[in-house]
Chain A
Amino acid sequence: NAGVTQTPKFQVLKTGQSMTLQCAQDMNHNSMYWYRQDPGMGLRLIYYSASEGTTDKGEVPNGYNVSRLNKREFSLRLESAAPSQTSVYFCASSPGQGGADTQYFGPGTRLTVL
């Protein structure tokens, strides 16, 4: 039981390049999330998927797109990377039973945009 896995662990991009961050969970959770973590700002929600087949914007969605490929997988795409997107990205999942759910986090992807 691996929990939440993310690939890659590290990535360096040049401004304007595109890439997709992959996330998968093996806990049969309904809800999945993408956050970014920046110094002094905690974690901010980019996009989330309350259940398979649905996605919604979070606090900071601009410059990102997501795909809930199936119940297990939730990918985050940067179409044209900008230096402001340099951050650590975390994927998380939860059972999807409401506001008291525990979220389970992946190990993160450290992205640098030059």
Chain B
Amino acid sequence: GNSVTQMEGPVTLSEEAFLTINCTYTATGYPSLFWYVQYPGEGLQLLLKATKADDKGSNKGFEATYRKETTSFHLEKGSVQVSDSAVYFCALSDRGNQGGKLIFGQGTELSVKP
């Protein structure tokens, strides 16, 4: 079945450091890929997404590229801020999915220190 695997957390970085959170997936067909972010005490919100191979999603300085050959969708940011401290979830959805069901990775907690 379909699945998503993320790098283990928590990840602790200093402000202005480079961030990479790894995400790999297993899926039949050609899924859409997502990164969601959960700030403390809140629900999840979409950070970025990509719907086909080689697409790059970007938002708020974060980027991720849909790599079909390596089945990956790693999240990157060049210079993190304290306000980026949150839990990040990678997710996939089958393209022909009735109802758009998402399968989530386990989440990676990021803590950015000043």
What residues of chain A have their CB less than 8 Å away from a CB belonging to chain B?
4, 31, 33, 40-45, 48-51, 56, 58, 90, 92, 94, 96-108
Point out the residues of chain A lying under 8 angstroms from B51, CB to CB: 100
Total interface residues in chain B, CB < 8 Å: 29
Point out the residues of chain A lying under 8 angstroms from B104, CB to CB: 42-44
Closest to B106 in A: A42
Give the total number of A-B pairs whose CB atoms are below 8 A apart: 77
5 closest residue pairs by CB, A with B: A50-B99, A105-B43, A42-B104, A99-B97, A101-B100
What residues of chain B have their CB less than 8 Å away from a CB belonging to chain A?
4, 31-32, 34, 36, 41-46, 49, 51, 89, 93-107
Closest chain B CB from A98 CB (angstroms): 6
Interface secondary structure of A, over-half rule: loop
- CB of B96 within 8 A of CB of A90, answer no
Closest chain A CB from B110 CB (angstroms): 15
Report which residue of B4, B46, B101 has the largest number of chain A beta carbons within 10 angstroms of its beta carbon.
B101
Closest to B99 in A: A50
Closest chain B CB from A30 CB (angstroms): 9
